[in-house]
Amino acid sequence: MAAALRPDLIERLAVQTAERENAKLLRRLRTIDHVDGPWLETGNQRLLSFCSNDYLGLAQHPQLIAALTRAARSEGVGSTSAHLICGHRTEHAELEEALAVWTGRERALLFSTGYMANLGVLQALLTRGDICVQDKLNHACLLDGAKLSGAELKRYPHADVAAAARQLAASPDTAALLATDGVFSMDGDVAPLHELAALCNRERATFMVDDAHGLGVLGTNGAGSISAANLGQHEVPLLMATLGKALGCMGAFVAGPAALIEGLIQFARPYIYTTAMPPALAAAALEAVQLAQAEAWRREKLTALIARFRSGAMELDLPLLTSASAIQPLLLGSADAALAAAQALEGQGLLVSAIRPPTVPAGQARLRITLSAAHEEAHVDHLLAALETLRLPPSST
């Protein structure tokens, strides 16, 4: 009799999906048929995209394509195995060495995705009875990694170093890790890395930075937000960054002391039990690492485009958040307003993401505009002209 009353899990999921649809918060897939730099073709539309994370415009670079093709012809497509069996190829080893040198770390370790990297690191380092202190606006995978580890997760208000200090001080004898995004994916601002590093040093807490949106864009030779803050491995022993944003490829890596990397090889389950990324993709990523350092003009162009957009947006009194990164959010408040604005822009040939709850808190829905070195000044001006027609709420600052 009891079994007949047990809820059906798929039916429950369907009810939750229907509730999200009724709240006009349903996520929907969009199939892109063709990509040409910042231009996307979908169905019968050709749209100028301002929602890609291809910050340096490398995703379609001919040298990346050539490197991938050469390696695929030589080594095939799939790695066929986890790294620890027979999946770790020369291409992976060369990429890891280049990433370690670029970021000023002793060693680096590849993961198949950034999500897996953060899950693996936090699960390997933390255990029940430890504490993990995190910024409330950290990416979901950092939060999930802490929960998976069994450690106590403590979240401090965004960029509030004093609050983080209180959380660490409340457990002075407990093993602790403090994790933050370097560049926050929805707000685009940079974490107070100097202050957090000093705090971790005082409290003997391990400091971890997820620099998915900073690598390639900020710092000397594009080495990321930690480099831009003039911090090194001693101050920030644990760096995670991805290969699928500014580098235009896919995958992720963790970099730090040799003892960290050796430990992750032994204990990071998402590394141990997952097929390695295709060696051809690692070859393409290595080419991207070299281009990101050699072609500084890409960062210079991106910086100029960011300045042009921000200047124009402020002249129009748009509700622009404070951000010096490639992520430029316009805070509109309601999910309906953000969705309506995105749809209106699409009607003018522009693709901009409407970010709604639960990705951001209720009342903080926004247009998340991302700029790329693949854009031109005329593209930015087109976007600003279109935004001017929307009659968006003015900035509150």
Binding residues: 27, 114-115, 139, 185, 213, 242, 359
Which residues are marked as active site?
Answer: 185, 213, 245
State the Cα–Cα distance between residues 101 and 208, nearest whole angstrom: 18
**Order of strands, edge to edge, in the sheet holding 350-351?**
34-36, 39-42, 45-49, 350-351
Q: Which residues sit in the known binding site for substrate?
A: 27, 139, 359
Which amino acid, one-letter code, is at 67?
A
CB 329 within 8 A of CB 298: no
Distances (CA, A) of 204 to 92, 185, 210, 235: 33, 28, 19, 11
Give the H/E segment covering residue 94.
Answer: helix 90-103
CB 211 within 8 A of CB 176: no
Helices and strands (H, E) in the chain, number of each type: 14, 14
Three-state secondary structure call for residue 365: strand
Work out whether strand 350-351 and strand 45-49 pair parallel, antiparallel, or are unpaired: parallel
Which among 277, 239, 298 has a CA at the least distance from the CA of 93? Answer: 277
Which among 320, 310, 305, 308 has a CA at the least distance from the CA of 366? Answer: 320
Phi first, then psi, for residue 41 (nearest 5°) are -115, 130
Q: Which residue has the tokens 């509700």?
A: 319
For 103-161, give the DSSP string: HT-SEEEEESSHHHHHHHHHHHH--TT-EEEEETTS-HHHHHHHHHHTPEEEEESTT-H
**182: which 2 tokens?**
């370097």
Give the H/E segment covering residue 306.
Answer: helix 297-315
State the Cα–Cα distance between residues 371 and 378, nearest whole angstrom: 13
Three-state secondary structure call for residue 337: helix
